[in-house]
Structure 1
Amino acid sequence: MDKSKVIVGLDIGTTSIKVIVAESIQNQLNVIGVGSERSEGLSRGVIVDIDKASASIKSAVAHAEKKANVPINAVYAGIPANMLNIEKCDGIFAVGEPSREITAQDVAQVVNSALIRNLPPEREIVDVLPSEFIVDGFDGIKDPRGMVGTRLEFHGILFTAAKTVIHNTRKAIAQAGLNLAGLVINPLALGQLVLDDGEADFGTIVLDLGGGQSTAAVIHDHKLKYSHVDPEGGEYITKDISVVLNTTLANAERLKREYGNADAELVSSDNQFPVAIVGQTNPQMVGEDYLAAIIQARVEQILQRLGAGLRQVHAFDLPGGIVITGGVSALPGVVELVKKVYQRPVKRYIPDQMGLRHPSFAQGLSIVSYIAQLSEIDILIRRVVDPAEAAPQRAASPSRPAAPAPQRPTAERRPDTAGSRHPQSSPAGEPAPAPKKKKKKTSQRIKNLFTNFFD
């Protein structure tokens, strides 16, 4: 039986930082605390000022601590889809004696063999998801531990991100006085939360319409197959309102929330509201249809850019339709506008947990939900990728004792002739391996996962 555990998710957004504290008891996730703080030091989903970002993180965590009444020392942080690469990876490992059962250490070895590759110096491995294990030619195996075999193969999906994004996230969290328990890829976790089993299996588009940027992701066969980020979001809508109506940003944000609609056809010009104009004493009356036209123009522009990439991978041919979430999706008329632009079925996801009933909390909730649903084999693989990751407090299975955190190998260092490829370095704090005889290894060329992946 699983022991209860507390999971803290950190959603570092461009406009706000959210902290979700949840307790997982026997596969039941209960939110016990929420903290939110306006973001500082972020631009388009990426930390650009570590000092300001760490202060915002610290404040949001303090709010969540107070509401949850539990100390928060470690968090699982989301990584945005900016410059996220999705690739296939494969590994092979000779188990040895035909009568010996496959152990957790064997699984770690075969995953390690899939990670030996020369990455560009600006990229870092974030996560690896297993597609299947193969034991002596028998495929489709989800967990090979306890089986008997001499040859173990691993097929998975490798996610790499910009090293700057990861470093700045780690640095800001550490500077806030917190430990980083692990990283979670935002669109991967969000897809798991907002889609049901059929949608994730047959294929669905997930649109996260945030304040600083908008992200399109494709979930197919329960895997993240595609992601793309548009560097515009709700902030740009607010700026448009401010410029066109000649009012302050604070007033434009208020007008957007109180009177805004993303579809001008759904509102009437008869409904008007006062707008405080900069440089004028008396407010000016503006119709709701005019405000809606301003909002619609920007949202349509975002959707069209995201749609161009989705059409290239034939995502609109998938039967699951479109699920939207994120703060901008809370605007009235957004669902109707997305239907018009994409001509596909659309629904909006809103969390139903108490205190989180707004789509802007979906990403933070998805982080704790993703960690709570990790299987033993998922946790083992994540610890291969990052040996410093904290394993959730689960009761160990009597037939499958938990293995110690394995060490990731590094590719053999060779003279760099082209200057464009470098071996992946060991994570910070990892003990240096004992000197061993060097062996020549052929590094795998990174393959693009999506060459007509829907074909």
Structure 2
Amino acid sequence: DVANQELVVGCDLGSYKVVGLVGVKEEDKIKVLGWGEAESKGIEKGVIINIEKASESIEEALKMAFRMAGKDKKEIMVSISGEHAEGKIEKGFVVIQTPDNEIRREDVKKVIEQAKTRSYSEEKEVIFVYPNHFIVDDQKGIKEPVGMIGVKLEVEAFVLKAKKNVLKTIEKCFKRVGFEIEGYITQPLASSFAVLDEEEKSQGCVLIDIGKGTTDLAIWKDGGIQYTSTLKIGGDFLAGDLATCLKIPKIKAEELLKKYSFAHPKFAEGKETVLIERTGGRPPIKVTPEEYAQITEARLIEIFRFCELEILKWGGKENLIAGIVLTGGYANLEGIEEIAEEVFKLSVIKKGAKDVIGLSNEITHPSYSAAIGVLKIGIMEREKIKKMKKKSFFRKLIDFLEKI
């Protein structure tokens, strides 16, 4: 019965749309029960510029999702633009003090807390911690150290922090319409959890999520998060350039992108020329698919070059065996993979969310990756808390019995 399964509600605050999702875990998949979306008003490039308008968009998207699910809940997991957050790898270590040197869940909790405190700052707060791997007495690459025997436990964790003021503003938007925030994640990580499989995370890959206002990037290697970054250019950049070069209004440029919906010049063949009306009594203008393709390709190459610079900040491309994974609303342009391959000289694939059931057809479209990822992370965090509670109860029982 769904009522008893833990409902998780996610809200993705994009620059183009706000998406609300209601779901539950079903075996190792996510079952989406409700889905709603609203145009992003009051949010620009991931920044809230108008609290009242942003609140209305949030309310509209979530209410729609709740109506469809026939359920209600106050606590929401939220994904925010990577622009407000910075992530970095922090280390922590503890000495194991149990008589038998067995590592317990409490030790794991302690070592993660220690990594967290290393990244303390006045104006930022830690919103998410992902233990990349643990080290037990110099034995590296351990994912689950509980129950192992050792003297020293270390962790390498990816710690994500966001500006407190930004979080307060977002919180205010949700409070205004009667919701509370249960946790935060950034869009590049949300998309990663939705789209990537274990092999990609372990072999090394870069997830690139191209949205309307921003392009998000997350680098994974050895099953851990190595680097994330947000660039302030996205699909808007394509539309803006089409408008300037073709001398047409921006809204018409956006329509043109939707109509042609390809990126690589080789897809221009056989497509028809479009006549575009212009404002202020100017004569309509003819746009050929070739002209459109030339501009779109040039801009995407530019976006990917910026992404490449971010990858080089982290390290070498030769470590990324699984190559590039594209997702996000603009990843759906036909032929975008070829353009990316020419720039990165790595294998490129485009994907939407995986392991989703329920209303899955539309929601596995690449533009919903971050929204699905928020649900996945909500479920992950829940399970972590449950594990902690369960383990500590058994531990207390054993400790009690040992004392008798």
For the aligned pair, the TM-score class normalised by the smaller chain equals 0.7 to 0.9
Separation of aligned partners in 2, 1:151 and 1:252: 59
SS at match of 2:233: coil
Question: What is the aligned partner in structure 1 of residue 357 from structure 2?
Answer: none
Question: What is the aligned partner in structure 2 of residue 327 from structure 1?
Answer: 329
Worse-superposed segment, 189-198 or 57-66: 189-198
SS at match of 1:291: helix
Deviation at 1:234, TM superposition (A): 1.0
Deviation at 1:339, TM superposition (A): 1.6
Distance 1:360 1:29, change over 3 A: same
Distance 1:36 1:106, change over 3 A: same
Question: What is the aligned partner in structure 2 of residue 386 from structure 1?
Answer: none
5 Å-filtered alignment, 1:268-417, equals: 268=269, 271-280=272-281, 283-317=284-318, 318-351=320-353, 353-374=360-381, 376=383, 379-380=384-385, 397=390, 400-401=392-393
Separation of aligned partners in 1, 2:141 and 2:116: 21
Letter in 2 for 1:334: I
Letter in 2 for 1:66: R
Distance 1:161 1:347, change over 3 A: same
Separation of aligned partners in 2, 1:307 and 1:369: 28
Question: What is the aligned partner in structure 2 of residue 91 from structure 1?
Answer: 93
SS at match of 1:277: coil
5 Å-filtered alignment, 1:145-160, equals: 153-160=154-161
Separation of aligned partners in 1, 2:246 and 2:136: 66
Answer whether contact 1:93 1:110 (CA < 8 A) is retained. Answer: no
Distance 1:71 1:187, change over 3 A: same
Q: Which runs of 5+ in 2 are unaligned?
A: 355-359, 396-404
Answer whether contact 1:98 1:150 (CA < 8 A) is retained. Answer: no
SS at match of 1:354: helix
Question: What is the aligned partner in structure 2 of residue 19 from structure 1?
Answer: 20
5 Å-filtered alignment, 1:180-199, equals: 180-199=181-200
Aligned-residue Cα RMSD (Å) equals: 3.1
Answer whether contact 1:261 1:291 (CA < 8 A) is retained. Answer: no
Separation of aligned partners in 1, 2:174 and 2:186: 16
Question: What is the aligned partner in structure 1 of residue 400 from structure 2?
Answer: none
Answer whether contact 1:9 1:19 (CA < 8 A) is retained. Answer: yes
* 1:225-277 CA-partner distances (Å, limit 9, x unpaired): 11222101112222222333333333221111012422224313872011011
* 1:65-98 CA-partner distances (Å, limit 9, x unpaired): 1222211312111133224131222132563x51
Distance 1:108 1:18, change over 3 A: same
Which of the pair is proportionally richer in helix? 2
Deviation at 1:49, TM superposition (A): 2.6
Separation of aligned partners in 1, 2:186 and 2:393: 28
Answer whether contact 2:340 2:348 (CA < 8 A) is retained. Answer: yes
Distance 1:342 1:173, change over 3 A: same
Distance 1:261 1:71, change over 3 A: same
Q: Which runs of 5+ in 1 are unaligned?
A: 381-390, 404-455
Separation of aligned partners in 2, 1:67 and 1:78: 21
Answer whether contact 2:90 2:116 (CA < 8 A) is retained. Answer: no
* 1:160-207 CA-partner distances (Å, limit 9, x unpaired): 233333333222222231111111233223223222222111101111
Answer whether contact 2:265 2:294 (CA < 8 A) is retained. Answer: yes
Task: Among all aligned residue pairs of Structure 1 and Structure 2, give the percentage whose two residues are the same amino acid.
Answer: 26
Deviation at 1:150, TM superposition (A): 7.0
Question: What is the aligned partner in structure 1 of residue 169 from structure 2?
Answer: 168
Question: What is the aligned partner in structure 1 of residue 230 from structure 2?
Answer: 229
Letter in 2 for 1:354: N
Distance 1:258 1:232, change over 3 A: same
Answer whether contact 1:89 1:158 (CA < 8 A) is retained. Answer: no
Separation of aligned partners in 2, 1:260 and 1:23: 34
Distance 1:306 1:133, change over 3 A: closer
5 Å-filtered alignment, 1:98-137, equals: 98=99, 104-117=105-118, 119-133=120-134
Distance 1:4 1:273, change over 3 A: same
Deviation at 1:336, TM superposition (A): 1.8
Separation of aligned partners in 2, 1:127 and 1:333: 35
Worse-superposed segment, 188-197 or 221-230: 188-197
Separation of aligned partners in 2, 1:238 and 1:81: 22
Q: TM-score, normalised by structure 2?
A: 0.85
Separation of aligned partners in 1, 2:115 and 2:380: 24
* 1:275-312 CA-partner distances (Å, limit 9, x unpaired): 01122365332211112222222222111111122134
Separation of aligned partners in 2, 1:270 and 1:151: 64
Deviation at 1:400, TM superposition (A): 4.5
Letter in 2 for 1:362: S
Question: What is the aligned partner in structure 1 of residue 36 from structure 2?
Answer: 35
Deviation at 1:51, TM superposition (A): 2.5
SS at match of 1:4: coil
Letter in 2 for 1:247: I
Answer whether contact 1:245 1:277 (CA < 8 A) is retained. Answer: no
Separation of aligned partners in 1, 2:124 and 2:171: 15
* 1:19-75 CA-partner distances (Å, limit 9, x unpaired): 121121333311111111111122222223322212211111111112222113121
Q: How many residues are matched?
A: 387
Worse-superposed segment, 208-217 or 75-84: 75-84
SS at match of 1:319: coil
Separation of aligned partners in 1, 2:136 and 2:262: 56
